[in-house]
Chain A
Amino acid sequence: MERDSSLLDDYVLSLTDSPRPRICFLPTASGDADHYVVRFYRRFSASCEASHVSLFRRDQGAGGVEDDLATHLLAQDLIYVGGGNVVSMLGAWRAHGLDEILRKAWRKGVVLCGPSAGSLCWFEEALSAFHGAPRGVPGLGLLPYSNCVHYDAEPERRVEYHRFVGDGMRAGFAVEDGVALHFRRTRLQRVVSSRRDGSAYRVEPADDGVVETRLKAAYLGADAQAPPSPAASSAPGSRRRRIARRTTAHKAAATRPAGPEPLPA
């Protein structure tokens, strides 16, 4: 739900194979902020069967979906998780059993998506910044990697993520704003972007720090070239670059869009 672009939203809708997808919004990470719920309906209600679940308003009959949460969520084509605080969100989800429901939905084939906290939550580990003190947070663990978001918007994120991966956080993906990782099961299929120059990065531990590999994103805009197929994009020429711990400067030329290792669920 980027304010100035619907490219990522259109892309995720295209993954559902439904002419009018059933989409449910979970704004938990924002504390169910009203303005975010309104923004969701403005974006999706024309083209989708849109609904939302508020875990803070259920006592007032204003929780969006009021009947059985599991039944409702498992009947969706797409579950869209909003941004905010990932720790608060996971805490509230567990209290309402949403963590288990979302695992079931994923296994059933419901497309799961979201920005920021709505991305971090699917991974084994997430790097989350709190009042200046970053920390590793366990996510739902559907994807056996770590994840770091806002990689370009907050410059200290790169330093912190390198430090965490260097210190034992599992290997994973760092993503710039406007860039999305598309996984099928646990394998990275594509890296797409609503911005022409967006990138994601694969970050892995190495002997003396970490190795960061740039994954160039396919621009989703109208004048974009036809997206490369996953097979074509794993062409040779990928280059990895070894990055010492706590290095901020970074220039990596090559792309490496394919996922690290296939791990069928």
Chain B
Amino acid sequence: MSARSPADGEERLILAMGGGGFTMEPTNPLLDDFVLSLTPAKEPRVLFLPTASGDTTAQINAFQARFADRLCVPEHLSLFRLADAKRPLAATVSSQDIIYVGGGSMRNLLAIWKAHGLDRLLLGAWRNGTVLAGLSAGAMCWFQGGVTRSSGPPEPMPGLGLLDGSLTVHADGEPERLPVWLASVRDGTLPGGWALDDGVGLLFAGRQLQRVVSSRPGAGAQRVDAIAGELVRHRLDPELLGDGPHGPLGGTDDAVEELRRVNRLRRGIGGGRG
């Protein structure tokens, strides 16, 4: 919403979620509110990319249901219905404070982005300080590699490489993925990295892991590396979002509540795009 200057490395934020957010936690807004808190913008522009799902209406509706009455300007970009788009891709991508990528097929996601040149635009947005967030395929895509079920059985595949290491998601929800990832890390097909349960997010500042957060008690994460052919695993304890002392939400003051009310009125309660 404001003119951007190229962000320093540490101001480049990526939140990678193993699962969670509005598509998977319709009654739990903790991760999505955390995403909104990552930008200094008072009323951030949030662009949702549902590409990995084939732009399903279900994902787009869930996005609007979560963000339409929050203090932000939500918008989605469908690469299957570009005839509806009002602006060129580059203008749409470069004008956001947050870009949020949904789950689905990682293989299709990256291939379709590449076909439209969106991979380059997203790299540019990250460099300019736009917060990148995503879950599942929309989280693994930022790393050097991940484990996808795009063709059925889980298999390793390369990502965009903005972040070092590899990522595997739904470690608790889809247990068949984890062994494939561990084997890929052990044999060097994928670099070492992180395995995330549903509800857990890794926040990177630049290429450095800054925080491990969670929307669910009990959800976990681990760091795994192959050292001399052996897997070395470290458990990470996520900070639970919401009411803890480290939570980003804290108490909202009256002014923010007032702004939210005005915002809701302006768009119409539960309304669609602004």
Taking Cβ atoms with an 8 Å cutoff, the residues of A that contact B are 29-33, 55-56, 58-59, 61, 63, 66, 84-85, 87-88, 90-92, 94-96, 129-131, 133
Q: Is there an interface contact between B105 and A130, defined as CB atoms closer than 8 Å?
A: no
Q: Is there an interface contact between B79 and A56, defined as CB atoms closer than 8 Å?
A: no
Residue of A nearest to B87 (CB): A131
Nearest CB on A from B107, distance (A):
5
Question: Which residue of A88, A94, A133 has the most chain B CB atoms within 10 A of its CB atom?
Answer: A88
Nearest CB on A from B68, distance (A):
22
Interface residues on B, range: 20 to 34
Nearest CB on B from A38, distance (A):
14
B40 within 8 A of A: no
Neighbour of B80 across the interface among A61, A85, A90, A95, CB < 8 A: A85
Using Cβ atoms and an 8 Å threshold, which residues of chain B touch A91? 108, 111-116
Given the known A-B contacts A88-B79, A131-B83, are A31 and B107 also in contact in the complex, defined by CB atoms under 8 Å? no
Using Cβ atoms and an 8 Å threshold, which residues of chain B touch A96? 107, 151
Within 98-148 of B, Cβ neighbours of A (below 8 Å) are at 104-105, 107-108, 110-116, 148
Taking Cβ atoms with an 8 Å cutoff, the residues of B that contact A are 51-56, 78-83, 85-89, 104-105, 107-108, 110-116, 148-152
Nearest CB on B from A84, distance (A):
5
Neighbour of A129 across the interface among B52, B79, B83, B86, CB < 8 A: B83
Can you list 23 A-B pairs, Cβ within 8 angstroms, ordered by A?
Answer: A31-B56, A55-B108, A55-B150, A56-B105, A58-B105, A58-B152, A59-B105, A59-B148, A59-B152, A66-B152, A84-B81, A85-B79, A87-B116, A88-B80, A88-B115, A90-B115, A91-B113, A92-B112, A94-B115, A95-B108, A95-B110, A96-B107, A130-B83
Using Cβ atoms and an 8 Å threshold, which residues of chain A touch B88? 130-131, 133
Q: How far is the CA of A131 from the CA of B83 in the complex (A)?
A: 5
Q: Is there an interface contact between A95 and B54, defined as CB atoms closer than 8 Å?
A: no
Residue of B nearest to A27 (CB): B54
In the A-B complex, the 7 residue pairs with the smallest Cβ-Cβ separation, listed nearest first, are: A31-B54, A91-B115, A95-B111, A59-B149, A131-B85, A56-B54, A31-B80
Using Cβ atoms and an 8 Å threshold, which residues of chain B touch A33? 54
Using Cβ atoms and an 8 Å threshold, which residues of chain A touch B110? 95
Using Cβ atoms and an 8 Å threshold, which residues of chain B touch A133? 88
Residue of A nearest to B91 (CB): A131
Q: Is there an interface contact between B80 and A30, defined as CB atoms closer than 8 Å?
A: yes
Question: Which residue of B55, B87, B89 has the most chain A CB atoms within 10 A of its CB atom?
Answer: B55
